[in-house]
Amino acid sequence: MLRLPGLIDPHVHMREPGALHKEDWDSGTAAALAGGFTTVLAMPNTRPPIFDEQTLSLSLGAARQKARCDYAQFLGAGPDNSLSVSGLASRSAGLKMYLDMTFGQLRLDDMALWLPHFKNWPADMPIVVHAEGRSMAAAMLMAAIHNRPVHIAHISLREEILLIKAARERGLRVTCEVAPHHLFLTDHSAGEGGLRGKPGRSQVRPRLARQADVDALWANLEVIDCFATDHAPHTLEEKDSDDPPPGFPGLETALPLLLTAVHEGRLTVDQIIEKCFTNPRRIFNLPAQPETWIEVDQDAVYEIRAADHYTRCGWTPFEGWKVRGRVHKVVLRGIEVFRDGKLSAGPGSGRDIRSAE
Ligand code: DOR
Ligand code: ZN
């Protein structure tokens, strides 16, 4: 058995409040533990979005009752909430800014709306941007002007990773994450596995990219600070509808896919630890989880099946993929919470990592 630290996923969508038929704090954190993640950072594009005191308390109240792993909640940047959200910063995972079109209502088109957030958000708290292509370049410039770090969510393109690399060489404080689906799927994968040629199932933002983009991510692994699932559950019925929402579940497939890449010699276990634990912990300033680890059977070979998963959405784009590496056991703060497919952590046993208690 391979022993790893409890993994950290800095990018998940829990869907609570507002869309509990897709996921909630209970099913989402069950999926996290089953996937080897003992800490998750939740995105704010729920219904309503998490963007003020009332909605933050709503989400954290639900999490407190239901979460089975440790967690924190991002606040969403809106057109006129920069002062009020900055007052809530210490209770949050960080500030999330949606600068491009995606799922949900939180979107800041005009760059003039970005400015007050970069100005007012506390310097020691993370800012994460959903910014693709040239928006990403603009977000990096804005962070540099305000002399503060910025974390770029789910980069997927060659031009993005090359720009981040160049910016870092010039000393800019920019970090980034990549989602497993952008490492293992391309715009040509649409006919395969869980996607099965249904156009809605391959919808995700950022979109699945070309092979040359995927190759550039693999060729520049040292530039990627974190692997983050962007776990974005929507039901199959929604994905196969006329207006399919973008997003893939990812919590229960990330580690098996990454371990399979280790077996194939494309990645090392040390890189998994660095990008799923050490770096996210540093970037998001997360406390230690004492006596927390996972055990992985690196030789288990099996096929990914959504039917085996805890996520409520009921599907995976990796259905039928043959992988090598299975989570055997998860220990959270000294207590065994998962073993061989069975969960023993109760709802509410997870902790808010930003709470003072
Ligand atoms: O594909 C996506 N789904 N990209 C996002 O940015 C949002 C997410 C969601 O919330 O469904
Ligand atoms: Zn997301």
pLDDT classification of 9: cutoffs 50, 70, 90: very high
Tokens of 321: 């993929």
Instruction: Kindly report the protein residue whose alpha carbon is nearest to atom 7 of ligand 1.
Output: 103
Instruction: Report which protein residue has its CA nearest ligand 1's atom 4.
Output: 205
Q: What is the rounded distance in angstroms from the CA atom of residue 120 to the CA atom of residue 267? A: 39
Atom nearest to 130 CA in ligand 1: 6
Q: Which atom of ligand 1 is nearest to the CA of 13?
A: 10
Q: What is the 3-state secondary structure (H, E, C) of the chain?
A: CEEEECEEEEEECCCCCCCCCCCCHHHHHHHHHHCCEEEEEECCCCCCCCCCHHHHHHHHHHHHHHCCCEEEECEECCCCCHHHHHCCHHHCCCEEEECCCCCCCCCCCCHHHHHHHHHHCCCCCCEEEECCCHHHHHHHHHHHHCCCCEEECCCCCHHHHHHHHHHHHCCCCEEEEECHHHHHCCCCHHHCHHHCCCHHHHCCCCCCCCHHHHHHHHHCHHHCCEECCCECCCCHHHHCCCCCCCCCCCCCCHHHHHHHHHHCCCCCHHHHHHHHHHHHHHHCCCCCCCCCEEEEEEEEEEECCHHHCCCCCCCCCCCCCEEEEEEEEEEECCEEEEECCEECCCCCCCCECCCCC
204 lines ligand 1 (CB under 6 A): yes
Task: For ligand 1, say whether the CB of 348 is within 6 Å of any of its atoms.
Answer: no
C-beta of 5 in contact with ligand 1 (< 6 A):
no
Per-residue pLDDT tens over the stretch 172-226 = 999 999 999 999 999 999 888 889 888 999 999 999 999 999 999 999 999 999 9
Distance 205 CA to ligand 2 centre (A): 8
Q: What is the pLDDT of residues 300-352, one digit of tens each?
A: 999 999 999 999 999 999 999 999 999 999 999 999 999 999 999 999 999 99
Please tell me the distance between residue 186's alpha carbon and the centre of ligand 2 in angstroms: 18
Sheet holding 335-339, edge to edge: 2-5, 293-303, 322-332, 335-339, 342-343
Ligand nearest to the CA of 153: 2
pLDDT given for residue 355 in this prediction: 94
- The arithmetic mean of pLDDT across residues 270-280, rounded, is 98
Does the beta carbon of 232 sit less than 6 angstroms from any atom of ligand 1? yes
CA of 98 to the centre of ligand 2 (A): 9
- Determine the average pLDDT of the residues in 229-247: 97
Residues with CB under 5 A from ligand 2 (ion): 230
Ligand 1 pocket mutation pick from 45, 132, 185 by most atoms within 8 angstroms of CB: 45
Q: Which atom of ligand 1 is nearest to the CA of 153?
A: 6
pLDDT above 70 as % of the chain: 99
**pLDDT on residue 136:** 97
Q: Which ligand is nearest to the CA of 19?
A: 1
- pLDDT (tens digit, 9 = 90+) per residue, 52-105? 999 999 999 999 999 999 999 999 999 999 999 999 999 999 999 999 877 667
Query: To test the ligand 1 pocket, which listed residue (21, 185, 204) has its Cβ within 8 A of the most ligand atoms?
Result: 204
CA of 242 to the centre of ligand 1 (A): 17
The burial class, CB within 10 Å (0-12 / 13-18 / 19+), for 78 is buried
Give pLDDT tens digits for 126-135: 999 999 999 9
Calculate how far, in angstroms, residue 43's C-alpha sits from the geometric centre of ligand 2: 7
CB-ligand 1 contact for 200 (6 Å cutoff):
no
